[in-house]
Each structure stands twice: as C-alpha cells, then as structure tokens.
C-alpha cells in the first residue's frame, strides 16, 4: 500500500443520506474474482441511464468532478452489505477519502484497509462541506484535521489505522507477528 499523509483535492458532493453499498456497487458486479477495475461500476445504477450513457446530472459525471479525490456524502454512508468491492470501486475511481457525519462500521473498516480514509466530521462542519460542492480541501493524517477555506475540522482516526495508512503497512503483517500469542491462546483453549 502507498503511504498516505495528506490529501489535497476538490470535493464531489453526493448529499443523500444512508447511501448503501448496493448503490456504491450493485451485486451483479460482484461475480469477479479480482479486485482491480471496479471503478467503472462505481454507482453504476445512478451514474448511467438504462442505455449505459452517463447521466449528466449525476455529480460524478460533471466536468468539475474529474480528478477529485474526496467524496462528501450524506450521513450513514456505506450501510448494508459488507462487500469490500465498495471501497475497491471508490479507490479505483480515484477517491482517497470519504467525508460524512457518520460512516457505517463495516464499510469504514474495509475502507481503512484499502487506502480510503473515512473522515467523520461533526454535523456543522459536514453541513458546510455538503453545501459547497467542489470546495478545495486538505485532509491531514498527522494532525487529523480537514481544512477547507476558513474551516478547520478535526476528525477521529484510530491510532493503529492511522499508523498503517501513514506508513503504507497492512494489518495482516501485524496479525502474523502475533502468531506466538495466538498459538498460546489456542493451547490454553484446548485445556479449558
């Protein structure tokens, strides 16, 4: 994984709340055995009309969305299915952070393992970003703050996840380093 310390980008705003992972990537795209290339299917049923043409009014299809790395979405983003294809698709499309006032548990956990930063802001800061699409923002992992214009908003980030993101290391390496303790636990469990 690429180390990430800071993201500087314009935002794309998807204001609706409770965006579920079935919308982020519909189930018919889950028949793949790969993780690459899912960006084309991101928000497929919202992004394309029934003939497969991009819907011009969908935020991701607007010219100013090109190259944006930060998605600002309504509350409870990523609810529903545990499919990790959702953060894979967002990352493959080019996003490096998702900003909301709340982010569903499994999605947040999956995002952190794929270089996609879940940024949970207080409702007032969130509201300001929702109402200013295309805002230039800086997300700094060192200080755990999002800065946009006159706004400086702190966000929580688990120290362990932050360490992994900033150093480009993955959690599996840490778990594998615990093999001795896992084996000891198994042995003790056998005796119980």
Partner 1 sequence: MRARTLFEKVWDAHVVRPETADSPAVLYVDLHLVHEVTSPQAFEVLRERGLRVRRPDKTVATMDHSIPTTPGGGRFAIADPQAAAQLRRLEENCSEFGIELHALGSEGQGIVHVIGPEMGLTQPGRTIVCGDSHTSTHGAFGALAFGVGTSEVAHVLATQSVLQRRPRTFEIRVDGQLRPGVTAKDLILAVIARIGVGGGAGHVLEYTGSAVRALSMEQRMTVCNMSIEAGARAGMIAPDDTTFEYLAKTPRAPKGAAWDRALTAWRALPSDAGAPYDAAVRIDASELEPMITYGTNPGMALPVGARVPDPAAVSDAAARASLEKALRYMDLRPGQPLIGQKVDVVFIGSCTNSRIEDLRGAASVLRGRKVAKGVRTLVVPGSRRVKQAAEAEGLDRVFTDAGAEWREPGCSMCIAMNGDQLEPGQYAVSTSNRNFEGRQGKGGRTFLASPLTAAAAAVAGRIADPRELAR
Tokens in use for 175? 């778990």
Binding mask 78-107 for partner 1 (x = CB under 8 A): -xxxxxx--x--------------x-xxx-
141: which 2 tokens?
A: 């992992």
Which residues within the stretch 56-75 sit at the binding site for partner 1 (CB under 8 A)? 74-75
Q: How far is the CB of 151 from partner 1 (least distance, A)?
A: 20
Cβ atoms of 157 and 116 within 8 Å: the answer is no
- Number of residues in contact with partner 1 under rule CB under 8 A: 53
Sign for the pseudo-dihedral over CA of 39, 45, 51, 57: negative
Comparing CB distances to partner 1, the nearer of 131 and 152 is: 131
In angstroms, the Cα distances linking 4 to 88, 112, 117 are 16, 11, 9
Q: What is the dihedral of CA 134, 4, 102, 13, to 10 degrees?
A: 10
Q: Does 39 bind partner 1 (CB under 8 A)?
A: no
Residue ranges that bind partner 1, judged by CB under 8 A: 15-18, 20, 22-23, 26-28, 30-35, 45, 50, 74-76, 79-84, 87, 102, 104-106, 109-110, 113-114, 158-160, 163, 170-172, 174-176, 178-179, 181-182, 185-186, 189
């Amino acid at each position: 994984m690429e180390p990430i310390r800071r993201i500087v980008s314009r935002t794309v705003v998807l204001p609706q709340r409770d965006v579920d992972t079935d919308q982020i990537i519909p189930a018919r795209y889950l028949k793949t055995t790969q993780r690459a290339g899912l960006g084309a299917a991101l928000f497929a049923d919202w992004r394309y009309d029934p003939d497969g043409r991009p819907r011009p009014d969908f935020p991701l299809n607007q010219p100013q969305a090109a190259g944006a790395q930060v998605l600002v979405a309504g509350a409870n983003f990523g609810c529903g299915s545990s499919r990790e294809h959702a953060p894979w698709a967002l990352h493959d499309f080019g996003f490096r952070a998702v900003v909301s006032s709340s982010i569903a548990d499994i999605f947040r956990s999956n995002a952190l393992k794929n270089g996609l930063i879940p940024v949970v802001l207080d409702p007032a800061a969130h509201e300001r970003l929702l109402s200013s699409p295309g805002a230039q923002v800086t997300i700094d992992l060192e200080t755990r703050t999002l800065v946009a214009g006159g706004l400086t908003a702190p966000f929580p980030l688990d120290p362990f996840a932050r360490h992994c993101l900033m150093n480009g290391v993955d959690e599996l390496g840490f778990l594998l380093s615990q093999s001795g303790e896992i084996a000891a636990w198994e042995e003790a469990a056998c005796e119980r």
